[in-house]
Structure 1
């Protein structure tokens, strides 16, 4: 029987559109490098998600690209054309059959895209500024017409998600990809309506949100979730500061979104710059917009006490990423009062039992420090 102190994590939550989650645990979106070369979801990937979808209230997929030149990783599944709808449906069905709400995360990689993955190696971004680091390609600055086309592509991928049976989409405006590239003063040096001032750098992210919402209102026959993920700060100078992010989330909170999802490695991490505040970024964000839009917190949460402590900040949803890869039965163990049996370090001999596709498994065991237990 469940320890009563964890009961708050297992209360249902109803979004304002009426969709109900059975608990407050979300599977975070994580790249798995395991799709087929043609952009379809692989069998191994479907099994990996199904194995993790019977506990969490909501599962957010790895990102899918909305435009052919937005593919950010080897082994990434696509949402950029109608012939991929059956593949998208296969994944949505596998998640929902296990009892979770299925959310498709969608993005364009922008300047982070490996040139070999895209047509003509044509890497694009808000401006022709390469990402920091050795050997990063210099992107081509997008034209006004191309920007409008990519905005429509986000809408078209949303339509495909609706047709494929997803319960919602998450707009990936985090982790340095194209939407964030337009918001960032590092990557956006434009002087037209799409860049320059902070206000103009918001134009593209808000246009994507508006287009996605428009497509949902025209195509969804039942309630459909629209969330937005963002990274609160950038290390680069110039770069996004916590002050910039407070402006961003104020604008997003006006858009009638179903949730905002913070992208963090560490739940309790503190701001670098931009605010005079010693609290964690998530506490600052929750105080700023939490009464207007639900916030999902995430970052190095491994055991139920971690989750409970995070939940007590007031964020209504807690996302687990690496921990649900390490122990897919996390939720069930807490429910059964077996929280002392939860595994919090990856077992190098357990790939098959954990149903982890080989490309993801190879990345885990060959990246020391990423997962607990890999030194």
Structure 2
């Protein structure tokens, strides 16, 4: 078992100075056109410096992939100067900067897309209120989208980031291709489990080849995934173990599970003897690091995750207290901020978008 303050080195050579990372979270801080704002730079910079790495909120790889207002863009070279400032703001005192990249798929709407119909693997609406029915992507559009993930990775390299994370979680497009709910295709991109994995496989290959072909050193590629869906049909935990097994054999540097509770157990009767994170860690079997997550509040919570993962991603804890790690390491956990007032937002660089995220995730800790 690793310790919080232990270094972590990935296979492409990048070393984190400790095992604590900032989890990717929605900020809604960018300009309307996806350009980075100074508020956004200040927000991330405040939480860097002590922890091993910061993973940004999602940046869309093409215009119709925008999931919400105030989202980062990485689909054009015009974004590189702003992204370079963001990366530099994060990379102080040895903290590494990782840009999460994605396409929102059907988890957006025509208003956000300025009149354009959302797209997905198939023309099936999400099971959520007011969900719009997307247009199914044509095969040639899928091929172009894969190229756009690769181009986004090249821009992240040019901007000085230390890595990218593919956002294959939270029901966005990568997950939509793998899910039997959102992918009803009967061509080479859907049908069997193996064919539903194909889009993910080709995106990973395109992104890792971009890194390897660039000659950049110490630049890593991660993949985030959600372990289960509750739709019927939907992704079941056995499907996720297949996904994990396949991804562990590819050119990735880490996998990152998305959970709101670290000890969450599968709804499948076949996988209830231990947590889903423990099953995933066992499936990976040391082939690459697993980033664990799930309502960490104090040091012992992070240590519990490190019994079944190789690093810990903190979300809400770092929003409430950017100095969480030094307080843990210095035996000052009694000083960790556990609640948040609206009056604290300016001091903590918390925007209305971040406050809205916190209201949806932990209203009992706000006042």
Same fold (TM over 0.5): yes
SS in 1 for 2:365: coil
Farther off after superposition, 327-336 or 73-82: 327-336
2: CA distance, partners of 1:362 / 1:291: 37
Residue 374 of structure 1 pairs with residue 366 of structure 2: yes
Deviation at 1:347, TM superposition (A): 2.9
Aligned with residue 32 of structure 2, among 29, 37, 50: 37
Q: Is the 8 A contact 1:303 1:344 kept in 2?
A: no
Aligned with residue 9 of structure 2, among 14, 36, 49: 14
Deviation at 1:326, TM superposition (A): 0.5
Farther off after superposition, 217-226 or 6-15: 6-15
Aligned pairs for 1:46-57 (under 5 A) are 46-57=41-52
Q: Is the 8 A contact 2:100 2:166 kept in 1?
A: yes
Deviation at 1:362, TM superposition (A): 4.6
Q: Is the 8 A contact 1:174 1:231 kept in 2?
A: yes
2: CA distance, partners of 1:177 / 1:369: 19
1: CA distance, partners of 2:363 / 2:129: 25
Q: Which runs of 5+ in 2 are unaligned?
A: none
Which residue is equivalent to 1:3? none
Which residue is equivalent to 1:216? 211
Which residue is equivalent to 1:327? 321
Aligned pairs for 1:78-117 (under 5 A) are 78-117=73-112
Deviations 1:28-50 (A, max 9, x none): 00001111112111111100000
Farther off after superposition, 116-125 or 106-115: 116-125
How many aligned positions are there?
Answer: 367
Deviation at 1:227, TM superposition (A): 0.3
1: CA distance, partners of 2:2 / 2:129: 48
Residue 339 of structure 1 pairs with residue 333 of structure 2: yes
Which residue is equivalent to 1:200? 195
Structure 2 vs 1, CA of residues 184 and 369 (structure 1 numbering), >3 Å: closer, same or farther?
closer
SS in 1 for 2:149: helix
Deviation at 1:355, TM superposition (A): 1.8
2: CA distance, partners of 1:198 / 1:37: 38
Residue 353 of structure 1 pairs with residue 347 of structure 2: yes
SS in 2 for 1:121: coil
Over the residues paired in the alignment, what is the CA RMSD in angstroms? Answer: 1.6
Which residue is equivalent to 1:267? 262
1: CA distance, partners of 2:356 / 2:240: 35
1: CA distance, partners of 2:325 / 2:196: 40
Residue 64 of structure 1 pairs with residue 59 of structure 2: yes
Deviations 1:91-140 (A, max 9, x none): 10100024311000000000011211225322100000000023210100
Aligned with residue 276 of structure 1, among 264, 271, 274: 271
Aligned with residue 157 of structure 1, among 152, 155, 170: 152
Q: Is the 8 A contact 1:242 1:275 kept in 2?
A: no
